[in-house]
Amino acid sequence: MWKDFKEFAMRGNVIDLAVAVVIGAAFGKIVSSLVDDIIMPLIGVLTGGINFSESFVFGIGDAQVQVGAFLQSIIDFTLIAFAIFMAIRIMNKLSAKKEAVEEEKAPEVDSKEELLKEIRDLLKEK
């Protein structure tokens, strides 16, 4: 059982996922800081000094309904999702360029070899 777990944990996908989670958490902190420290104060200035997290708080008995904090979380999530989307989009473009360069460098197949491959494939089908 330990051997199976070790093989599972050492596979590339699991390690890649762990690294992605750690980087994602750090990236989330950066974007949260961007929202909390830069964007929301600017929105507050544009809206006449309204602080969303402290405004829009409604009390129902002892309970506090914090609509402003919820709105701030929605803005935070939207910015994080957009930033991750843009990062993945850039990585995909770079990867496509790299693949295109590799395809260009691929050696050309001799016409005799191509004919032999076609014959082989036809024989496999039968």
Burial of 27 (C-beta count, 10 Å sphere; 0-12/13-18/19+): middle
CATH number, position 88: 1.10.1200.120
What pLDDT band is residue 12 in, cutting at 50, 70 and 90? low
Domains contained in the chain, number: 1
Residues near 53 by beta carbon (within 8 Å), at least 6 away in sequence: 40, 66, 68, 69, 72
| Greater model confidence, 105 or 56 | 56
Q: pLDDT digits over 49-97, tens only?
A: 766 667 777 888 888 888 888 887 787 788 777 877 887 888 888 888 7
In which domain, by residue range, is 48 found?
2-125
pLDDT at 28: 78
Supply the pTM of this predicted model.
0.49
pLDDT at 59: 82
Average pLDDT score over residue span 114-121: 86
